[in-house]
Amino acid sequence: MDTDELDPWSATTAELYRTLRARLDGDDPAVLATIVDVDGSAYRRQGAKMIVVPGDDSYGSITAGCLEGPVVDLANAVLDEGRARVETFDLMNGDEWGLGLGCNGVIDILLEPLDNNFGVALDALANDQPVTVLTAVESSDGNVTVGDRTVLDSDLSSLGDADRNRLPSELVSNESDVVESLRESASSKAVQLETSAGTVSVFVDHLEPVPELLLFGNQNDVHPVARIGREAGFRVVVASSRGSRSDGSDFPYATRVVSTHPTEIDEAVRAPENTYAVLMSHNFLDDRLALETLLEGTSVPYVGLMGPRKRFEEMQTEFEQEGVQLSQSQLERVSTPVGLDLGSDEPIQIALSIVSETLAVHNDRNGGRLKCREGPIHERVTTP
Amino acid sequence: MDTDELDPWSATTAELYRTLRARLDGDDPAVLATIVDVDGSAYRRQGAKMIVVPGDDSYGSITAGCLEGPVVDLANAVLDEGRARVETFDLMNGDEWGLGLGCNGVIDILLEPLDNNFGVALDALANDQPVTVLTAVESSDGNVTVGDRTVLDSDLSSLGDADRNRLPSELVSNESDVVESLRESASSKAVQLETSAGTVSVFVDHLEPVPELLLFGNQNDVHPVARIGREAGFRVVVASSRGSRSDGSDFPYATRVVSTHPTEIDEAVRAPENTYAVLMSHNFLDDRLALETLLEGTSVPYVGLMGPRKRFEEMQTEFEQEGVQLSQSQLERVSTPVGLDLGSDEPIQIALSIVSETLAVHNDRNGGRLKCREGPIHERVTTP
């Protein structure tokens, strides 16, 4: 059922986390490759990751296909040496425009044998906590070696340091502003830092937990949304009304299937800030109760409501009649009619429209065509 | 590789056409169920189709799951009788709001044994021609029976009439205005018509050929776009630069893989009005030449160009230098940066963003959030 079996190169972050956790649990060696710097326009940005396992299989992507081969070749050497290294790939091959968007530009890649040090990051992520992984990627300071690492939790406290040297603590505390600003923009960047004994370049890698897509309903149309949601990288949870026919085995794309009452759907929300809910029970009362419960009882940023605008207006009338007062900010979290405006009514296209909207909201975007967007496609990462 | 194997209920129109063609070719019986009328807010609209085959398997959807079971049950009777019938399902079950969006409302469904009459429609569609299928769904005129049918091509000429009575020709010619207006809005509707001997209700079903997604490139990032494109219902064509490593077997989601030079990519376009091109060779010159060729040599409505805005500006500078004059309307067909603004940079999410944009353009939409759209989600179908 994993889509990485179909096309490992386009494995999602969720799939990469799963693969890393499985390698660690099984004591199976692997090399993690991470883009730490890019000069010029590239297909993927800093922080993009690929996993290489013995036998030369790989998961994930660092370019559109230019560097995956060379990095796989290097991985065996990295495993043999048992320590991290950074390789610079200079692909400036006479492309006079510098805009080939392919095998050109200069890309720095951190290659490291997977160890339990990354495991503490995975543990935090599995508990829906963002983490910041700081890794020395260049050093003229004799006390700091490439690969030295500190993993910070969301309070900027240091997590465990199994299998790896920690970065000097004053270096980490000096970077707290940078860490904060990268966390806000959910991005990753290499930063040059002066120490008393030299210069250290630290890659500040901000990792977000996998977002969760909570689908309330159990009719056929849940399936395509679950499928596309899973493919797009969400952890999918299906919440079915108690007493419904479903026994859970019906939803192969869901990570969890819970049986719930609409007034208790908040109990199915594990990480509210990172949960995107879609109400699609096709039952007016159930959807209304679930909407009220999610808006009042949780801070989920997005509640998609299936059906026409008029249906939500009817719900609002009922809220008034029942004395349910919803604030403006609560109402703004409601997305109805649900989805992006793709103009389609086929189930899989409706699913595409819904999942695309949740992704856009997750990334603080509005959908709409990029050609019409003002300013750059990616936010510029500015650090203090 | 067919997604209908995973979830037959959410089979795309492309998959339904393929299934119908295979049943006809194999002389295998099947029943085609089509929504001809809906009272109230429904999950699917007029024209939505489901195929039932002996053994009770079904493909496609007519509701979110309320009527699929009863329609499968009825299909055997329809096969036994060997003739079309219309069934009205009254699901008004005391839902006082009428907005349950589930098992309520009144839905009329045409059930008919699949015959070669529908085959002529499939043939035209396979040749990238839209067709309009007119079917009597109610009649008080003794000369017209439910299921009588005329299939019109894009010039409103009648196609063959194997296995089925044709509708009276004056009835069809009287409807030419209705057919035209439904064709413009790409929608389907039942229309009441007076004949000299009674009243006939004719379901005017406008069927569009499957749109084609033409991907120019052969790097890894073509795969997720091909996959999501196929899942979303496109016929996917991959055009690789001649001399590239690919031998075609690399693209399991493509219906066709062609080897081409960028200046000859127009030859890969089979139905220009219905083709959505994405240039993702990652080679500046190849993309530029392909762009010029598609804009000047074809009428494809959409040419997505991978890369930042600056890359297209560089191309425009080169067009000027080379004396290539592109008109405003040609430039408007270019979509760059390609995709909807979802804010993601993972390969599968980029693919989702691109396919969502092509769907939106195909349906004449802008891909923004439906909650922000003015007016109804679906265009009202107004007929003269």
CA atoms within 13 A on the CB side of B102: 19
Inter-chain residue contact A61 with B100, CB threshold 8 Å: no
3-state class (DSSP) for residue B321: helix
Which of B345, B358, B381 should we substitute to test contact with A (largest number of A Cβ atoms within 10 Å)?
B345
Report angle CA A234, A240, A244 to the nearest 5 degrees. 150
Confidence of residue A99 (pLDDT cuts 50, 70, 90): low
- Distance, in Å, from the CA atom of A312 to the CA atom of A332, rounded to the nearest integer, reads 13
Q: Which helix (H) or strand (E) segment is B23 a member of?
A: helix B13-25
Which tokens sit at B168? 């009276």
DSSP one-letter string for B248-267: STT-TT-SEEEEE-GGGGGG
The partner residue sitting opposite A282, judged by closest CB among B101, B306, B373, is B101
Report angle CA A298, A311, A229 to the nearest 5 degrees. 55
**Mean pLDDT computed over B300-307:** 96
Cβ(A202)–Cβ(A171) below 8 Å: yes
Answer yes or no: is pLDDT of B98 > 90. Answer: no
Q: What is the pLDDT of residue A101?
A: 60
3-state class (DSSP) for residue B131: strand
- Distance, in Å, from the CA atom of A83 to the CA atom of A145, rounded to the nearest integer, reads 10
Confidence of residue A3 (pLDDT cuts 50, 70, 90): very low
Task: Supply the mean pLDDT for chain A.
Answer: 89
- Residue B68 CA to its chain's centroid (Å): 21
Q: What is the pLDDT of residue B383?
A: 52
3-state class (DSSP) for residue B145: coil
- Distance, in Å, from the CA atom of A253 to the CA atom of B295, rounded to the nearest integer, reads 41
B236: closest CA of chain A, how far (Å): 16
Q: Does B364 touch chain A (CB under 8 A)?
A: yes
B34: closest CA of chain A, how far (Å): 14
Q: What is the pLDDT of residue B250?
A: 76
Listed range (A137-141, A304-308, B121-125, B244-248) with the worst mean pLDDT = B244-248
Q: Does B371 touch chain A (CB under 8 A)?
A: yes
Residues of B in contact with A100 (CB under 8 A): 282-284
Q: What beta strand segments (E) does chain A contain? A: 31-39, 49-53, 57-60, 85-90, 106-113, 131-139, 149-152, 189-195, 198-207, 212-216, 235-241, 256-260, 275-279, 302-305, 334-335
Answer yes or no: is pLDDT of A67 > 70. Answer: yes
Strands B106-113 and B31-39: antiparallel
Q: Does B100 touch chain A (CB under 8 A)?
A: yes
Cβ(A126)–Cβ(A187) below 8 Å: no
Answer yes or no: is pLDDT of A384 > 60. Answer: no
- Distance, in Å, from the CA atom of A347 to the CA atom of B351, rounded to the nearest integer, reads 19
- Distance, in Å, from the CA atom of A311 to the CA atom of B100, rounded to the nearest integer, reads 8
Radius of gyration, CA atoms only, chain B: 23
B282: closest CA of chain A, how far (Å): 5
B327-352 tens-digit pLDDT? 999 999 999 999 999 998 899 999 99
B354-380 tens-digit pLDDT? 999 999 999 999 999 999 987 766 655
Residue type, A29: P
ipTM of the complex: 0.94
**Mean pLDDT computed over B236-256:** 77
> Between helices A347-362 and B347-362, what is the axis angle to 10°?
120
Q: Which helix (H) or strand (E) segment is B353 a member of?
A: helix B347-362
Q: Does A156 touch chain B (CB under 8 A)?
A: no
- For chain B, the straight-line distance linking the first and the last C-alpha, in angstroms and rounded, comes to 44
Burial class (CB in 10 A: 0-12, 13-18, 19+), A383: middle
Q: What is the pLDDT of residue B2?
A: 46
Q: Does A10 touch chain B (CB under 8 A)?
A: yes
Q: Does A343 touch chain B (CB under 8 A)?
A: yes
Residues of A in contact with B376 (CB under 8 A): 308
CA nearest neighbour of A9 among A74, A78, A72: A72
- Distance, in Å, from the CA atom of B377 to the CA atom of A309, rounded to the nearest integer, reads 9
B16-28 tens-digit pLDDT? 999 999 999 999 9
Inter-chain residue contact B310 with A12, CB threshold 8 Å: no
3-state class (DSSP) for residue A128: coil
**Mean pLDDT computed over A285-304:** 97
B137-153 tens-digit pLDDT? 999 999 999 999 999 99
Which of B335, B371, B379 should we substitute to test contact with A (largest number of A Cβ atoms within 10 Å)?
B371
Task: Supply the mean pLDDT for chain B.
Answer: 89
Which is more confident, A176 or B323? B323
A151-184 tens-digit pLDDT? 999 888 888 766 788 998 888 888 788 888 888 8
- Distance, in Å, from the CA atom of A72 to the CA atom of A74, rounded to the nearest integer, reads 5
CA nearest neighbour of A125 among A210, A235, A46, A186: A210
Q: What is the pLDDT of residue A182?
A: 82
Q: What is the pLDDT of residue A172?
A: 86
- Distance, in Å, from the CA atom of B32 to the CA atom of B115, rounded to the nearest integer, reads 10
Q: Does B345 touch chain A (CB under 8 A)?
A: yes
Helices (H), chain A: 13-25, 68-81, 116-126, 169-174, 176-184, 222-232, 284-297, 309-321, 328-332, 347-362
Instruction: Look at the alpha carbons of B250, B255, B261, B262 in this order and tell me if their dihedral is positive or negative.
Output: negative
Inter-chain residue contact A339 with B68, CB threshold 8 Å: no
**Mean pLDDT computed over A177-202:** 87
Q: Does A100 touch chain B (CB under 8 A)?
A: yes
Answer yes or no: is pLDDT of A236 > 90. Answer: yes
B136: closest CA of chain A, how far (Å): 25
Cβ(B152)–Cβ(B183) below 8 Å: no
A/B interface, count of CB pairs below 8 Å: 273
Q: Does B45 touch chain A (CB under 8 A)?
A: yes
| Chain A residue nearest residue B338, CA to CA | A370
- Distance, in Å, from the CA atom of A286 to the CA atom of B79, rounded to the nearest integer, reads 38
Confidence of residue B178 (pLDDT cuts 50, 70, 90): confident
| Chain B residue nearest residue A331, CA to CA | B371
Listed range (A125-134, B65-74, B368-377) with the worst mean pLDDT = B368-377
Answer yes or no: is pLDDT of B119 > 90. Answer: yes
Answer yes or no: is pLDDT of A1 > 50. Answer: no
| Chain A residue nearest residue B340, CA to CA | A369
A314: closest CA of chain B, how far (Å): 8
Q: Which helix (H) or strand (E) segment is B174 a member of?
A: helix B169-174
Residues of A in contact with B343 (CB under 8 A): 359-360, 362-365
A24: closest CA of chain B, how far (Å): 24
Q: What is the pLDDT of residue B3?
A: 45
3-state class (DSSP) for residue A71: helix
Answer yes or no: is pLDDT of A32 > 80. Answer: yes
3-state class (DSSP) for residue B315: helix
Q: Does A368 touch chain B (CB under 8 A)?
A: yes
Q: What is the pLDDT of residue A2?
A: 46
Which tokens sit at B54? 């002996």
Which of B15, B96, B220 should we substitute to test contact with A (largest number of A Cβ atoms within 10 Å)?
B220
3-state class (DSSP) for residue A190: strand
Confidence of residue A65 (pLDDT cuts 50, 70, 90): confident
- Distance, in Å, from the CA atom of A338 to the CA atom of A278, rounded to the nearest integer, reads 8
Listed range (A184-188, B237-241, B256-260) with the worst mean pLDDT = A184-188
**Mean pLDDT computed over B301-320:** 94
DSSP one-letter string for B301-366: SEEEE-S-HHHHHHHHHHHHHTT----HHHHHTEESS-SB-----SHHHHHHHHHHHHHHHHTT--
Answer yes or no: is pLDDT of A8 > 70. Answer: yes
**Mean pLDDT computed over B220-245:** 89
The partner residue sitting opposite A282, judged by closest CB among B68, B102, B223, is B102
- Distance, in Å, from the CA atom of B38 to the CA atom of B332, rounded to the nearest integer, reads 38
DSSP one-letter string for B68-79: HHHHHHHHHHHH
Strands A149-152 and B57-60: unpaired
Inter-chain residue contact B348 with A3, CB threshold 8 Å: yes
Residue type, B322: E
| List of domains in chain B | 3-114 (no CATH), 127-207 (no CATH), 212-362 (3.40.50.720)
Q: Does B254 touch chain A (CB under 8 A)?
A: no
Q: What is the pLDDT of residue A175?
A: 79
